Chains A and B, each alone.
Chain A
């Protein structure tokens, strides 16, 4: 009986660890599990961009105009907007390079993003590849983007 119990305890431990394991880890910030509401609402149309990739002012800016969200209506009920905005505010980027508010609050127009995707790193024709379509489509090359991981070893350029 004792053996069964200890086995059960071990199994439960693994299960719990899986449940509590951070869903996100990226090179720009600490490991962070995503707010379920953020994943449900925002990641329906694009990957769940790590909150650390924009400063709080940018998140506030774009959460305040969801009905005009980069060419689409992404409006949400007030309670969801509040919940997501608070979470983004808490986890927004505080690193030196993320402090600056990028034009139009776009991650892809941040100085650090442009530097990391210079023409000698990413050839211009790759952006027009049918599997890429847009710079917002991180997952086209960053295979673990949905999990918030952007390591070099996880990059796979579409052919």
Chain B
């Protein structure tokens, strides 16, 4: 009988472990744009994402130039789920995760942090793919 109680308890623990700062891609875009003080530009985001920045990798090296498609890690070959929220609903639903990946990947691609304006541009482009 104890086992009967244990299962729902285990499941409840799983459910409660959801991220504390749940958000949406649109909310994060608005936040970045507000912080930068400049309107986000999807075309600028696309250029930043798809063009090389003078280093070994661009964003597209792993994510491809089609963010609704699946990508592949440029060095390990691991599959990467599509980046556009239209193709993968969990994308950009956790602000801390968004910041973590911008931090790491801007460092790899640009050798520096991205500005809030650049983050807004990239998000605007990713959100331009219709649901």
Contact present for A73 and B107 (CB under 8 Å)? yes
B interface residues, tally (CB under 8 Å)? 18
Instruction: Report yes or no: A45 in contact with B6, Cβ–Cβ below 8 A.
Output: no
A75 and B104: CB pair below 8 A? yes
Q: Given A73-B103, A75-B103, is A9 in contact with B76 using a C-beta cutoff of 8 Å?
A: no
Q: A72-B104, A73-B107 in contact; A140/B7 too (CB < 8 A)? A: no
The digit string for A65-85, where 1 denotes a CB below 8 A from any CB of B, is 001001111111100000000
0 or 1 for each of A1-34: is its CB under 8 Å from B? (1 = yes): 0000000110011011001000000000000000
| Chain A positions within 8 Å of B107 at CB level | 67, 73, 75
**A38 CB, nearest partner CB in chain B, Å:** 15
**CB-contact partner of A137 in B1, B3, B76, B100, under 8 A:** B76
Say whether, besides A9-B4, A13-B3, A16-B3, A134 and B77 are in contact (CB < 8 Å). Answer: yes
- CB of B42 to closest CB in A, whole Å: 26
- Given A45-B73, A70-B75, A134-B77, A12-B7 contact (CB < 8 Å): yes
For residues 7 through 22 of chain B, which have their beta carbon under 8 Å from a beta carbon of chain A? 7, 10
Judge whether B75 and A132 touch: CB under 8 Å. no
Asked whether B108 is an interface residue with its Cβ less than 8 Å from the other chain, the reply is yes
**Would you give the shortest CB distance from A22 to chain B, in whole angstroms?**
16
Check A73–B77 contact: CB distance below 8 A: no
Interface residues of A in 46-80 (CB under 8 A from B): 46-47, 67, 70-77
Contact of A117 with B by CB under 8 A: no
The A82-131 residues at the B interface (CB cut-off 8 A) are 131
Interchain residue pairs with CB less than 8 A apart (12): A12-B3, A12-B4, A46-B76, A67-B107, A73-B103, A73-B107, A131-B77, A136-B76, A137-B76, A137-B78, A139-B77, A139-B78
